Amino acid sequence: MAANSISNQKEMFMTSKRSEILTGAQIVVRLLERQGVRLLSGIPGGAILPIYDALSQSTQIHHVLARHEQGAGFIAQGIARASGEVAVCMASSGPGATNLLTAIADAKLDSIPLVAITGQVPKSMIGTDAFQEVDTYGLTIPITKHNFLVGSAEELLEVIPHAFRLAASGRPGPVLVDIPKDVQNQSIEVSDWPAPGASDPAPAPDAVLISRAAAMINGAARPILYLGGGVVHSGASGSAVALAEKAGLPSVMTLMALGAMPVDHPLSLGMLGMHGARCTNLALDECDLLIAVGARFDDRATGKVAAFCSQAKIIHIDIDPSELDKIKTAHVGIAGDVKAVLGQLVPQVEAILRKPWLARVADLKATHPLRMPGIDDPRMPYGLIRAVADCLDDEATISTDVGQHQMWVAQAYPLRRPRQWLTSGGLGTMGFGLPAAIGAALAEPQRTVVCFTGDGSILMNVQEFATAAEEVANVKVVLMNNASLGLVFQQQTMFYGERIFASKFRGMPDFIKVAEGFGWQTLDLDNAGDPSSALRAALSLPGPVLIHASIDRHEQVLPMVAPGAANKDMIGG
Amino acid sequence: MNANSKTENRALASTVLELDVNNHAGVMSHVVGMFSRRAYNVEGIVCMPVGYEKNGLKSSGETSSEISRIWLLVNEDARLEQMIKQIEKLEDVLSLRRHGAEHEVFERLEEFFH
C-alpha cells in the first residue's frame, strides 16, 4: 500500500509536469501567456502566420489588429506607457518589420519597455533575397536595447523570458525577437517551462555618494530639482515630491516627467527648456545646485549646454551609468534606481524653508509667468486645452502627437499624475498620438483617453481610426487644425525670413467626414454655438469621438529658445 | 619634438580595448555599430574564440566556443569614455578592459600586414 501510494504520487507529479509536443509558435504564445500578457497588437503576414495560428487558440490574449505595423508598435507603447508593464507588438517579415522600426526607435529614446516579435523567412532562405526578406536583426541593432535572431524552437524557451527581462530591467527599452518561420513550425518536446522574465533588481546605490549629495543639498542656497522621465519609470514620483517639499526645492520637469509632480504644486516650475516658461529657465540660470533625477540633459531641455545652469554644481542620479557625465559632468553622479536613491536621500536632507530663494523664485514667477493668450476662449489653442481639462479629472489620460499642439498641451494642461501623460519626447514622432491613445484606452478601460493632435500628425497614422472603432476604444481625439505643419510654419516665420515653404497644406481633407467614414462620432467645434458645453457632451460619449477645432496658423508656441541658443535667451512669451 | 608633432602625437594617441563577449553571429555588429554610428573609426580589430568558462547564452547546434575575445585599436578621443560605457551596456559584452597603446597585440600582428 505504502509503495503504491508513493508510485501514485509519482505518477501525479509526472502528470503535472507532463511533457508536451509543441511547435515553436505554440511555445511563443504559451510563454507570452505565462508572462501575463493579456493584450498585444500586430498585423499578420506570411512569415508570422504560424504564431498567429497559435495565437488564435489563446483564450487569454486579446489581439488588437492594427492597420499599419507602426500603429501596432505605438498601440503597444500606449499599453506600456499607461501601465508601466512590458508590452508586445508583432509583425511579419520584410515590410512588416520595417514598418515597426519607427515605433521601436521611439521606445528606445523614451525608455519604454517593449518586446517586438517579428516573423522571418525560413532559416534556409535567409540571405537569398527571399520574398519579404529583410535583415531585421541588422536594422534593429541601433534602435533596441538588445535583439535576437532565434535559431531553434528550444532557444525560444530562453530567449522570450530573456527579452522580457531585458526590456524591464534597469533603464527600460525595446527588445526585438526575430523568429524564422521554420523555427515557428519546428516541433519539440517541452517538459519544463522557464520562469517568466522579470526585472532584475538594480544594484544598490553608493551610500557615500548619497550622503555627499545630501550635504550639497543642505549647503546650497539656490537649489533646483530637475525631474526626468526616469522618475515616472521608477515609480518615484512620491519620493521626488517628498524630497522637494522637505528640502524646499523649486522643481522643473522635462517633457517626459510632466505629471511626476502636479504642475500646479507650489514648488513646481513646470516644464523647462525650449518652450518652458521664462520664469522656469531664468530660475535655472540662477541656481547654484541642480539635482537631476532620471533626466538626461536632452538638448531641448538644456538649450546651449555651456550656458545651462552655468553657476551650478550638479548632482545627477540615473539608473543608466552611461548617462552620468554624458552631457554635463556631475559633481556627484549616482548610478542607481532613482526611487531607491531618493528613499535614502530624503531622510538625510534637512527640512529647510529657503525663504530667500523661494521668494526670488516667486518673484520670477510673478514677473515672467507663462503667458497663455486666449486661455478663456475655447476657440483659441490654450483656451481649448483648458476647456477640455475642465471637463475631465485627473483619472483621464492625455496623449499627444508632435508639433505645436504638443507644446501647448505640455505648457497648459494641468497634469497631476505620473503616467497621465503619453507623448513622444526623444524621437518626436508625428503619428504617435492616436495609436498610443488606443493602447492606453484598451489597457485601462476605466479611463477616458484624450489625444490632442494636429492636422499634420493625425494623417500620419489616420488608418488607426479603424482600429479604434473596431475596439470601441474610449479615445477622444481633439484635432487642432491650422491646415499646416504648424511648428515648421512657426520656425520658417521666425528663423527663415518668413519664407514659408512646404508647410501650408493646400488640399485639406474634411476630417469630420473622414472620422465618420471610419465609424466615429464627431463634433465640429467650429459650428458649435456653445463650445464648452458641446465639448463636455462630446467627451462624455462612449467610444471614439473626433473633436475638430480650426485654429489660426499664425498662433505660435511661445516663449521659444532658438535651436542652439541659451535657454535664458528666449523669444516672445 | 616641435609643437606640431606633439599635437599630432596627441591626436594619434590610441587605446587598446579588450572585450570578452558571447560568441554568436551578431556580436561583432553590436560592438562595431557603436563606433560606426558615431563616425568613430576603429583602427584595428582582432577576434578569436577563447573557451567555455563563463555563462553565455547557449545556442543549440553551435560547435564553436561560447566566449570570444575582441581586441579593438581605437584612437583616443573625447568620446572614448562614453563609448566604453555604451559598450559595457551591451548584453553580449561580458567584460571590458582598457589597455594603453603599448599593448603588443596589434604590434605582433604587424608582420602579417607588411
Q: CATH number of the domain that B75 lies in?
A: 3.30.70.260
B29 and A138 in contact by Cβ < 8 A? yes
- Residue A146 forms contact with B (CB below 8 Å): yes
**Residues of chain B found within 8 Å of residue A151, distances taken between Cβ atoms:** 59-61
**Tell me, what's the pLDDT at A342?**
98
The answer to whether residue B28 sits within a structural domain is yes
Domains contained in chain B, number: 1
**Tell me, what's the pLDDT at B2?**
43
**Tell me, what's the pLDDT at B60?**
41
The answer to whether residue B34 sits within a structural domain is yes
The answer to whether residue B7 sits within a structural domain is no
**DSSP conformation class of A454:** E
Q: How far does B111 lie from chain A, in Å, by closest CA?
A: 34
- Residue A151 forms contact with B (CB below 8 Å): yes
* Spatial contact of B50 and B70, defined as CB atoms under 8 Å apart: no
pLDDT tens sequence across B41-97: 999 999 999 987 544 444 444 445 799 999 999 999 899 999 999 999 999 999 999
* Spatial contact of A435 and A458, defined as CB atoms under 8 Å apart: no
A325 and B81 in contact by Cβ < 8 A? yes
- Residue A325 forms contact with B (CB below 8 Å): yes
Option in B37, B57, B89 nearest A322 (CB)? B89
DSSP A305-366: GGGTTTT-EEEEEES-GGGTTTSS--SEEEES-HHHHHHHHGGGS-----HHHHHHHHHHHH
Q: Between these two residues, A224 and B12, which has the higher pLDDT value?
A: A224
Residues facing residue A522 across a β-bridge:
A546
The answer to whether residue B73 sits within a structural domain is yes
**Tell me, what's the pLDDT at B114?**
82
Q: Which helix (H) or strand (E) holds A289?
A: strand A289-293
**Tell me, what's the pLDDT at A2?**
44
Residue B28 to residue B31: CA distance in whole angstroms = 5
Q: How far does B61 lie from chain A, in Å, by closest CA?
A: 9
Rounded to two decimals, the pTM is: 0.94
Which residue of chain B is at minimal alpha-carbon distance from A140?
B30
The domain in which residue B100 lies consists of: 13-109
Phi, psi of A508 (to 5 degrees): -115, 130
A321 and B59 in contact by Cβ < 8 A? no
**Tell me, what's the pLDDT at A504?**
98
Chain A with chain B: Cβ pairs closer than 8 A: 40
* Spatial contact of A423 and A573, defined as CB atoms under 8 Å apart: no
Phi, psi of A139 (to 5 degrees): -65, -30
Pairing of strands A223-227, A251-253: parallel
Option in A142, A151, A162 nearest B59 (CB)? A151
Which residue of chain A is at minimal alpha-carbon distance from B34?
A142
The answer to whether residue B74 sits within a structural domain is yes
| Domains of chain A, start order | 18-190 (3.40.50.970), 207-367 (3.40.50.1220), 381-557 (3.40.50.970)
pLDDT tens sequence across A251-298: 999 999 999 999 999 999 999 999 999 999 999 999 999 999 999 999
Residue A38 to residue A64: CA distance in whole angstroms = 11
The answer to whether residue B114 sits within a structural domain is no
**Tell me, what's the pLDDT at B101?**
85
**Tell me, what's the pLDDT at A96?**
98
The answer to whether residue B101 sits within a structural domain is yes
Residues facing residue A114 across a β-bridge:
A87, A174
The answer to whether residue B53 sits within a structural domain is yes
- Residue B29 forms contact with A (CB below 8 Å): yes
B37 and A322 in contact by Cβ < 8 A? no
DSSP A234-290: TT-HHHHHHHHHHHT--EEE-GGGTTSS-TTSTTEEEE-STTS-HHHHHHHHH-SEE
Residues whose CB is less than 8 angstroms from the CB of residue A325 and which lie 6 or more positions away in sequence, other chains included: A316, A333, B81, B82
- Residue B51 forms contact with A (CB below 8 Å): no
Phi, psi of A293 (to 5 degrees): -125, 110
pLDDT tens sequence across A172-214: 999 999 999 999 999 999 999 999 999 999 999 999 999 999 9
Whether the CA torsion A353, A357, A362, A365 is positive or negative: it is negative
Q: How far does A456 lie from chain B, in Å, by closest CA?
A: 30
Which residues of chain A are under the pLDDT cut of 70? Answer: 1-17
**Residues of chain B found within 8 Å of residue A166, distances taken between Cβ atoms:** 91
Asked whether the predicted pLDDT for residue B12 surpasses 80, the reply is no
**Tell me, what's the pLDDT at A207?**
98
Option in A142, A146, A155 nearest B37 (CB)? A142
Residue A154 to residue A263: CA distance in whole angstroms = 50
* Spatial contact of B75 and B13, defined as CB atoms under 8 Å apart: yes
